[in-house]
Chain A
Amino acid sequence: MRESLSAEWVKLRTVPGTKWLLAGIVVATAALSVIADAATRCPAGGCPVDPAKTSLTGIYLGQAIVVILAATAISGEYGTGMIRVTFTAMPRRTSVLAAKAAVITGLALVAGTIAVAGCVLAGQLILPGHGFTTAHGYGALSLSDGPMLRAAAGSVLYLALIALLSLGGAAIVRDTAVAIGAVLGLLYVAPIVAAVLGNSSTARHLQQIAPMTAGLAIQATTGLRALPIAPWAGLGVLAAWAAAALLTGGVLLRLRDA
């Protein structure tokens, strides 16, 4: 296992795109959060906005780059035929997938932590000037605040789970474009359909089972009782998606010709 880990780490480290993708995750996440912070105001009469969610909006964009990083880690090998070399060198295919999962998760956690730190910092700097003050009943977005810490740490975990979901998906379909399309479609389109369906029970069920709406429940710090799914339960739903994708991918890797 140590050999597979170091092999995957060397492969990922030496691909020129990786460092740009990691930088992209941090920059894109922080940038969208800054835009969302700048666009949100809380007037004197109070507002129905959750400042934790606003300051962490960048995750919506950052996850797209996490998907590229994770999906290409395996579909890229299929694209070039490298996967046959990999499996010749390491015939235990599931441990190859496990090693890839470990390396990708590590990278997503590191990039995610820096990105989320940037988001929280931007929120702390911008949001109090836009009416999110203690006078309006808002905290200082401090990480010593329990729900805020849960939202921030949960967002990092969310990115790691998205990476695992994408890796599993790419192992299933073995093509970069199809894998990215399928994962981004699953993430982005389900909430749109739920929003258009309005307040119906179908929409609520969709929000409970769709990976993004369920997973991002972890960012909520206000109005917890109105959420379609509780924060940690929501992240659990996303974890179940990721586990199912990895499991299916692993089984298919063993069964199919490379």
Chain B
Amino acid sequence: MTTTAVTPRVPGTQAAHAGFGRLLRAEWTKFRTVRGWLIAMLLAALMTAGVALLNHSTCGGTVVPGGKAITGAGCAAPPSGPGGVLVTDSFYFVRQPLAGNGSITVRMTSLTAGHGPAGLQPWSKAGIIITAGLRPGSAYAAMMVTAGHGVRMQYDYTGDIAGPPGGVSAAAPRWLRLTRSGGTVTGYESGNGTRWSLMGTVHLPALPATVQAGMFAASPGSSQSTSQTLGGSSGSGESTVATARFDHVSLTGRHPGGGWAGTAVGGPSPGTALHHAAGTVTVSGSGDLAPYVAAGGPPGTPVEQTLTGAVFGLIAVIVVAAMFMTAEYRRGLIRVTFAASPHRGRVLAAKAIVIGVVTFLAGLAGSIVAVVTGEWLLRSNGNFILPVSAFTEVRAVAGTAALLAVAAVLALALGALVRSSAVAVTAVIVAIVLPYLLAIIVLPAAAADWLLRLTPAAAFAIQQTTPAYPQVSAPYTPGNGFFPLAPWAGLAVLCGYTALAFGLAVVLVRRRDA
């Protein structure tokens, strides 16, 4: 052995940076020269992509809870609204054309359940509406009183402005007004018809010169208590009817039509009716004006369903990442590694970067293939995929890859902490996969929500592409693909656990003998 002059290294200098580069290369060489690990990574990508091909469900073969198969018209995608979002647009409309600017004012004196076994739903609604046309999915703004959520101003299906709470009765009527001026519609409400308060001003660029203005009633299907069973929870609906009574109806502006005419928008639905009597108008309708939510029963596949295989990929990744650390301890290689580069924290960092980047790339490739082939397969089987923005789709795909990468770093850190692959692999799988499994098929929804807030399994929220709308009652449970945390917040939970484990690993690896 020859002796060379030792140059002291100052941290942060050029030499230190070159040192870290060398460390990265060393770790990358260690990773790529173990054939089993490369095969496992390839397997992780393949499994992430492959499970998407399992989904042979055809829309005609989908059985909704209650045993009824959806076929034919039930498989068609619902209409899409102004923003491209799918919508439920069916209500009873008593209308007149309104040319140019103008306003409609009514006094609403009751909102009751129409004939039918099920009563009013919290989001049963009636009031006044200005809409671009009668085609389902038209732009609109509406002032309404709901059965359980007070006065609301809603527009373009997703917009929802809360007003004063409380219902409506003959003793406590509610005055509603909508004013159209060019591309803006302004909503007002009042308790007495003299003192008006502004609810909101919305901009609807899609409104044509002549719009339809009038009164409407709608009542969504009853959503029964959700049951969590093997295969996710479900909510089945029974149609309901809302009946509203209006008087003091006045329409200002140019209205060329001959008078009020009733139309069932979105096809005939049960219990739609219109009665005129001495200055009062009674409107009964069923349906809803709301974003379409495919939770628990209605057809429609969210994009993230094609990414289920990532859970398989996750297991392969966890095994490789844990072994990437524990194999060095098993073989005693760790002593050589630490002799060559005594900065143990840097060795761990280099390992984390290598395993993180490799996993991210493998996961990204697998996720892209999964989404592309999965969507193609679902479409060719006659299913429709719930449309999402390109950004959301990219977030779900890249987020899935990030989930795998962060989980790999967690497994690496645990491997360094416990130095046993058996414990590290089991602990990470039990921490990430088991809570997700328990949340979607075993535990009741409330406990499931807590599990997906507190455990690393929260990270699966990154895959959720369709939002939960407060103005639509639906079983928003993990089993139906709705997570309690926002996508990035969920991933942040996993990142937090990983940072904690990695920090502990650095401290312990420095302190312990190798």
Contact = CB atoms under 8 A, between A and B. Distances in A.
Interface of A: 35-36, 39-41, 45, 47-49, 53, 57, 60-61, 64-65, 67-68, 71-72, 79, 175-178, 180-181, 184-185, 188-189, 191-203, 207, 213, 226, 228
Contacts of B229: 48, 226
A177 B447 contact: no
Interface in B47-69: 51, 54-57, 61-65
Nearest to A220: B230
Nearest to A28: B430
B412 interface: no
Given A39-B446, A57-B438, A60-B437, A202 B422 contact: no
Query: Which residue among A68, A72, A177, A226 has the maximum number of chain B CB atoms within 10 Å of its CB?
Result: A177
A91 B61 CA distance: 56
Given A72-B422, A176-B422, A203-B231, A192 B444 contact: no
In the A-B complex, the 7 residue pairs with the closest CB atoms: A39-B447, A181-B319, A177-B421, A185-B315, A48-B227, A200-B57, A196-B308
16 contacts: A39-B447, A72-B422, A177-B425, A180-B421, A180-B425, A181-B316, A184-B429, A192-B308, A192-B437, A193-B54, A193-B309, A193-B312, A195-B231, A196-B481, A199-B62, A202-B57
Interface in B28-61: 36, 51, 54-57, 61
Contacts of B424: 177
Given A48-B227, A180-B422, A184-B429, A36 B443 contact: yes
B231 A198 contact: yes
A180 B232 CA distance: 27
Contact of B443 (A39, A71, A202, A203): A39
Contact of A188 (B227, B232, B429): B429
B168 interface: no
Given A181-B316, A188-B311, A195-B479, 18 more contacts: A39-B446, A60-B437, A64-B429, A68-B423, A79-B330, A175-B323, A177-B319, A180-B429, A184-B425, A184-B429, A194-B231, A196-B305, A196-B308, A197-B54, A198-B232, A200-B56, A203-B231, A213-B230
Contacts, number: 144
Interface of B: 36, 51, 54-57, 61-65, 225, 227-232, 305, 308-309, 311-312, 315-316, 318-319, 322-323, 326, 330, 421-426, 429-430, 433-434, 436-438, 440-444, 446-447, 479, 481
A194 B441 CA distance: 10
Query: Which residue among A178, A189, A194, A213 has the maximum number of chain B CB atoms within 10 Å of its CB?
Result: A189
Contacts of A64: 426, 429-430, 434
Contacts of A184: 315, 425-426, 429, 433
Contact of B447 (A40, A67, A194): A40
Nearest to B460: A192
Given A68-B426, A189-B312, A198 B433 contact: no
Given A45-B225, A207-B230, A181 B447 contact: no
Contact of A181 (B57, B64, B318, B444): B318
Contacts of A57: 438, 442-443
A195 B51 CA distance: 13
A86 B232 CA distance: 48
Given A177-B322, A181-B319, A213-B230, A199 B437 contact: no
Given A36-B447, A60-B437, A189 B311 contact: yes
A188 B437 contact: yes
A181 B315 contact: yes
Contacts of A48: 227-229
A41 B444 contact: yes
Given A48-B227, A192-B440, A200-B62, A61 B430 contact: yes
B421 A49 contact: no
Contacts of B228: 48
A197 B36 CA distance: 31
A45 B226 CA distance: 13
B328 to A, nearest CB: 13
Contacts of A177: 319, 322-323, 326, 421-422, 424-425
Contact of A199 (B63, B305, B442): B63
Contacts of B308: 192-193, 196-197
Contacts of B323: 175, 177-178
Given A36-B443, A40-B447, A194-B231, A188 B54 contact: no
